[in-house]
């Protein structure tokens, strides 16, 4: 996928309402997961990504800082993110558990 023509989100757009459900792609453009939920907003947000599984079943939630993701909108207006993490690297992270 060519992300060069996609519009990067501003820090004001980094809110749960905008980000939840977004697809996350790794550096090789393979899908690595989906944004399950967001803690906080803006540049200090923490993003919980469901990694692996099928249709959300058996997925492992992991938490990463929003700075590890590049959120953008494609030509159709769909929000997605690109990260340098691979699916295997994300699966090795500790499982996120909400307090």
Alpha helices by DSSP H, 1-99 = 16-19, 87-92
Instruction: Name the nearest CA neighbour of 65 among 47, 83, 51.
Output: 47
Report d(CA 26, CA 83) in Å as an integer: 5
Count how many domains the chain has: 1
What is the DSSP secondary structure assignment for residue 94, as one 8-state letter?
A: P
Place of tokens 């453009």: 29
Q: Is residue 68 a part of any domain in this protein?
A: yes
CATH classification of the domain holding 21: 2.30.30.240
pLDDT digits (tens, 9 = 90+) for 8-66: 999 999 999 999 999 999 978 899 999 999 999 888 899 999 998 776 678 899 999 99
Q: Is residue 34 a part of any domain in this protein?
A: yes
Report d(CA 6, CA 72) in Å as an integer: 6
pLDDT digits (tens, 9 = 90+) for 30-43: 999 999 999 998 88
Predicted TM-score (pTM) of the model is: 0.91
């Amino acid at each position: 996928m060519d992300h060069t023509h996609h519009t990067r989100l501003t820090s004001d757009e980094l809110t749960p309402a905008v980000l939840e459900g977004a697809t996350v792609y790794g550096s090789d453009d393979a899908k690595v997961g989906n944004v399950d939920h967001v803690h906080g907003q803006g540049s200090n947000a923490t993003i919980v990504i469901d990694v692996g599984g099928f249709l959300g079943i058996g997925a492992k939630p992991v938490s990463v800082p929003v700075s590890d993701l590049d959120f953008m909108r494609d030509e159709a207006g769909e929000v997605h993110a690109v990260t340098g993490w691979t699916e295997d690297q994300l699966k090795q992270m500790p499982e996120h558990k909400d307090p």
